[in-house]
């Protein structure tokens, strides 16, 4: 079946785009599932230094890990089409523009994605972000992952010491 008719076409294209931006297949698939979820985004504050965003990812496999692994394999095995290549390159450019805070390129890539049929996906993600930003951010309960903990440790080390 052509990717353009696949119900996971946007997830595959996002995974490709993150891969082109230098992320590994598992992280790329996780970001794709996160971005295309229709569940609310939850923000949590970590010691006033870091805000963690999470969401529920609807899945087809018995566990989230199996779902992400299956999505990564699907992305890897999908044959390139013009729509997929264009979408993936636009997603990569969107990521890179966000990293360097280039609003003009970022908005241009959104326009390209909308032209490729991404309007509903972008509107849904935008609405989820806007709704999350309206709420008060509760403190995080529970452990951070390895990379999150490393980032928090680095942020702590850069904070000036409080006077005694």
Comparing C-alpha atoms, which of 61, 59, 70, 58 is closest to residue 29? 70
Where is mean pLDDT largest: 32-36, 43-47, 62-66, 134-138? 32-36
- Location of structure tokens 């390129």: 105
Rounded to whole angstroms, the Cα distance separating 121 from 101 reads 22
Tens digit of pLDDT for each residue in 55-105? 998 887 788 899 999 999 999 999 999 999 999 999 999 999 999 999 999
Report pTM: 0.84
Q: Is the pLDDT of residue 138 over 80?
A: yes
Task: Enter the DSSP assignment of 60.
Answer: S
pLDDT of residue 68: 94
Structure-block tokens of residue 4: 């353009």
Count the alpha carbons within 13 Å of 51 in the hemisphere toward its beta carbon.
10
Rounded to whole angstroms, the Cα distance separating 53 from 45 reads 9
> Rounded to the nearest 5°, which phi and psi values hold at 40?
-65, 150
- Location of structure tokens 């230094």: 49
């Amino acid at each position: 079946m052509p990717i353009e008719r696949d119900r996971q076409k946007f997830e595959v294209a996002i995974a490709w785009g993150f891969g082109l931006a230098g992320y590994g297949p598992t992280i790329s698939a996780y970001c794709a599932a996160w971005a295309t979820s229709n569940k609310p985004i939850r923000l949590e504050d970590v010691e006033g230094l870091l805000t963690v965003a999470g969401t529920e990812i609807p899945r087809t496999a018995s566990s989230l890990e199996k779902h992400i692994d299956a999505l990564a394999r699907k992305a890897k095995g999908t044959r390139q089409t013009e729509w997929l290549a264009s979408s993936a390159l636009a997603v990569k450019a969107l990521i890179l523009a966000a990293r360097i805070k280039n609003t003009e390129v970022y908005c241009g890539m959104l326009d390209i994605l909308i032209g490729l049929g991404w309007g509903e996906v972008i509107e849904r993600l935008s609405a989820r972000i806007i709704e999350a930003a309206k709420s008060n951010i509760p403190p995080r309960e529970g452990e951070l992952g390895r990379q999150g903990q490393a980032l928090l440790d680095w942020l702590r080390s850069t904070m000036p010491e409080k006077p005694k």
